[in-house]
Amino acid sequence: MDDIVDLVTRSLADETAAAFTERVDEQAMRLRKAIEAGEFDNEAFSVGLEIELYAINAEPDPPEPDDGEGSEEATEEDLNDDLSGSGSAAWSGSLDAPAEPEGGGGASLEPNGDGASLEPDDSNPLEPGGDASPDQNAGETADEPEDSFGPGEGPSLDIDPDSPLAEDEPETPEEEEAEPAVESSVEEESDEPYMDPEDWNGRLTPLPDVVFEGEANKELGLHNAEVNTEPNSFDETGMEVQTTAVEMQTKQARQQASKHNCELVLDAMWTIPPEEGSEQYLSAHETNDGVVLADNMRQAPRYVALDNEALDHAGGSIDFDVPGYSGSFPTILFESLATSIQPHLQIPDAEAFSEYYNAAIRTLGPLLALSVNSPFLPADMYGDTDGEWLCANTHHELRIAAFEQSVNTSENPKVRVPRDLDDTTDVVGRVVDDDLFAPFLREFLHDDDRTGFEDEFWEFDHKRGTYWRWLRCVAGGTPVEGASTEKSLRIEYRPLPTQPHAKDMIGLQALTVGLIRGLVVADHPAAELPWQEAKRSFYSAAQDGSDADLSWVTAEGERTVDHDDIYDEVFQYARLGLAEQGVPEARIDEYLDPIEARYEAGMTPSDWKIARVREYIDDGDDLSTAIESMQRDYIAASREHHSFEEWL
């Protein structure tokens, strides 16, 4: 722990900031020249996906931990890792599909599954009350140089999987135990549970370190995990491999957790609190030599440094304000309420990158509105809030507010909708101009010589990891076979929440990359929609979900707010983009039909959750009981079905 405190103190020192800034400036200059010289052009498009999950209790009898298990005392290896939950597999190109399970057929996440085949108003409706202007929290300030860019993953404090601060691939145990079913393999014992089973079921719980010996990677909170697919070329084969990887890797991570009395949940926000209560869990901390150490945060130097940086900017306490809840926290850990998925799309033509990026900004609102899945905070955070009022007024995607408010403490908020790009090299300048948070120098963590691309741009890559826009550029990465070298540019699409099933996540991945590709290949005028309208649509989607006030420019160049017009084109051009990459029509339908069914039914996961809570309240339950009952229904439905479409 003393090593972590020492590293954090060094990170936040003035002399570190000066040296770090000088190196970032020099590395950025070389990156610009390399992009202009065509060194970031590649052969083909490629895709990847990151998936965040959280852990709950799987049995009413708590397990006896092994000696040291679950301890967050940092090891020497931890000090050299980012512990972002990214792992080296997140962007290492391989076209080899994971091994088929016994009996053949596609893998399925579900334990009993058969195998899934697979200018106007600039206000930010999500912003809490206060003196800050809406643009300070969601848009770019007028004085900024067209914005900044970045890499990294999910509304979370992670960095890009290719960053030199990313965690090493965990070692495989010498002796592999036979994988159990996804249901917990812990045998029932005769001892009485220390808590009523009904109260125990579904509560948030930390994950023991042994769970991360498989496919799962560590994330910000002790209860968080992340699974990443290896990136593949964006074509028929690549999408097939992505499908298999999402199912197999997520299933393996859940099986590993089940050995230790935990269940990993595919959901966007946990709502059944841990035993000590949500606010207590998110606030628990100690201070060591002036450094705040959050009890339930991974004790990785980078996380701790970021926490202390944000707290310092906020004056020692960070406010969180959403419908039905207003409070403050002594740590950024309330960001760990949220889990997300992040599709990646690598663009082979560097000169065309800005065209894809600007088109992608216009898709943020429509795609978020289809996928919303976090309308409720943990049940015990609402106090005496009226349930009917909350169901009518809560935001459909509270993740957006949780992430923005947890780290938007500096002068120029870091989590927001990015501005359009005028030129591809703008992505470099935006990182340079972004507010500096918790810098590290390479020699703090490594004593060897710099070799290769990652080491050459180490400090730039570190700063890139704190550029938390809802759409980011990742410059550089592990080569993808048949598609790219380590010098590549890709879009990281960050606002989408984790979905109830693997099939839903694969569908959203296909919809996202297909739509961005289809808009550009068809020369669609979507990017003519004013940026302010695209931004407004995004925050309206976060607030109102499927009822969002969206704006779009049609293929004929006409402005529309009609949902039928918008989604007709969203699915049409996503299909076009997938077909352009060689994906057969039948497979396109398998990917997109479950997502399109949501629109046709007028029901998102968030709508389902709100309706369920209303039903319990109408039956006489109080708000807290209704939310917890809804959550248990959600978990049960995600076990019983193969896609959200089946819930409708």
pLDDT higher than 90, residue 36:
yes
- Phi, psi angle pair for 553, to nearest 5°: -110, 125
The answer to whether residue 522 sits within a structural domain is: yes
- Counting the structural domains of the chain, the total is 1
Q: Is 472 helix (H, G, I), strand (E, B) or coil?
A: strand
Q: What is the pLDDT of residues 322-368, one digit of tens each?
A: 999 999 999 999 999 999 999 999 999 999 999 999 999 999 999 99
Instruction: Please choose, from the candidates 419, 416, 400, the residue with its C-alpha nearest in 3D space to the C-alpha of residue 357.
Output: 419
- Torsion sign over Cα 139, 143, 149, 153: negative
> Buried b / exposed e across 599-620, counting CB within 10 Å, b at 16+?
beeebbbbbbbbebbbebbeee
Identify whether 175 is part of a domain. Answer: no
Return the pLDDT at 201: 81
Q: Is the pLDDT of residue 618 over 80?
A: yes
Indicate the pLDDT class of residue 542, thresholds 50, 70 and 90: very high
Of residues 60 and 294, more confidently modeled: 294
pTM of the model: 0.84
> What pLDDT is recorded for position 198?
65
Question: Is 182 part of a structural domain of the chain?
Answer: no
Binning pLDDT at 50, 70 and 90, where does residue 214 land? confident
pLDDT over threshold 60, residue 387: yes
Cβ-Cβ contacts under 8 Å for 205 (sequence gap 6 or more)? 55, 56, 57, 223, 262, 274
Q: What is the pLDDT of residue 303?
A: 95
Position 458 scores a pLDDT of 95
**Which SS3 state, helix, strand or coil, does residue 480 take?**
strand
Alpha-carbon span 445 to 577, nearest angstrom: 43
Tokens representing residue 419 in the block: 């501005």
Statement: residue 173 has pLDDT above 90: no
Q: What is the pLDDT of residue 84?
A: 33
| Cα–Cα distance, 254 to 225 (Å, whole number) | 10
> Both tokens of residue 256?
């590993």
CA nearest 514: which of 345, 365, 630? 345
Angle between the N-to-C axes of helices 353-371 and 531-544, in degrees from 0 to 180, rounded to the nearest 10:
20
What φ, ψ does residue 269 adopt, rounded to 5°?
Answer: -160, 130
- Rg (the chain; Cα; Å): 23
Please report, rounded to a whole number, the percentage of residues in the chain having pLDDT higher than 70. Answer: 78
Mean pLDDT (whole number) for 118-141: 42
Strand 262-265, strand 232-233: pairing: unpaired
| Chain centre to alpha carbon of residue 515 | 20
Please write down the HEC assignment for all residues of 338-395. ECEEEEEEEECCHHHHHHHHHHHHHHHHHHHHHHCCECCCCHHHCCCCCHHHHHHHCC
Average pLDDT over residues 302-325: 97
SS3 category, 541:
helix
3-state secondary structure of 564: helix
Q: Which of 505, 85, 525 lies closest to 303, judged by CA?
A: 85
Interatomic CA distance for residues 323 and 216, integer angstroms: 33
Which of 88-92, 194-198, 572-576, 605-609 is predicted with the least confidence, judged by mean pLDDT?
88-92
54 near 216, Cβ under 8 Å?
no
For 396-417, the three-class secondary structure string (H helix, E strand, C coil) is CEHHHHHHHHHHCCCCCCCCCC
- Structural domain contains residue 77: no
Q: CA 301, CA 307: separation in Å to the nearest integer?
A: 10
**Could you tell me the pLDDT band of residue 46, with boundaries at 50, 70 and 90?**
very high
Whether 639 shows a pLDDT value over 60: the answer reads: yes
* 143 phi/psi in degrees, rounded to 5: -85, -10
Sign of the C-alpha dihedral, residues 332, 335, 337, 341? negative
- Residue 316, domain member (yes or no): yes
Quote the Cα angle for 168-174-176, to 5°. Answer: 100
* Boundaries of domain holding 308: 1-20+41-58+198-415+423-647
Lowest mean pLDDT across 290-294, 308-312, 476-480: 476-480
559-560 and 552-553 strand pairing: antiparallel
Tell me what the pLDDT averaged over the chain comes to. Answer: 85
Instruction: Tell me if 104 is assigned to some domain.
Output: no
Amino acid at 538: F
Q: Give the pair of three-digit tokens for residue 79.
A: 């000090």
Q: In 267-310, which ranges are E strands?
A: 285-288, 291-294
Burial of 532 (0-12, 13-18, 19+ CB in 10 A): middle
| 270 φ, ψ (degrees, to nearest 5) | -75, 145
Average pLDDT, integer, range 156-179? 44
CA distance 319 to 314: 9
The answer, yes or no, to whether residue 192 has pLDDT greater than 80, is no
Q: Is there a contact between 165 and 465 (Cβ–Cβ < 8 Å)? A: yes
Give the per-residue pLDDT at 199.
Answer: 67
Q: List 635's β-bridge partners, or say none.
A: none
Element (H, E) at 560: strand 559-560
CATH number of the domain residue 305 falls in: 3.30.590.20
State yes or no: pLDDT of 191 exceeds 90: no
List the beta strands (DSSP E) in 122-250. 217-218, 224-228, 232-233
Q: What's the CA gap between 193 and 201, in Å, rounded?
A: 11
pLDDT of residue 70: 44
Coil/strand/helix, residue 494: coil
The pLDDT of 184-193, averaged and rounded, is: 41
For the beta carbon of residue 562, count every other beta carbon within 10 angstroms. 11
What the block records as the tokens of 606 is 């968030």
- Report the alpha-carbon distance of residue 39 to residue 485 in Å, rounded: 9
Q: Which of 272, 379, 273 is nearest to 624 (CA)?
A: 379
Give all strands (DSSP E) within 146-244, no chain letters: 217-218, 224-228, 232-233
What digits encode the pLDDT tens for the residues 66-125? 554 444 445 544 544 443 333 334 443 322 333 333 333 333 333 344 443 334 444 454
Residue with tokens 């010996």: 213
Evaluate whether residue 208 is within a structural domain.
yes
Contact between residue 93 and residue 46 where contact means Cβ atoms under 8 Å apart: yes
- Residue 31 placed within a domain: no
Please check whether residue 139 is in contact with residue 535, taking contact to mean a CB–CB distance below 8 angstroms. Answer: yes
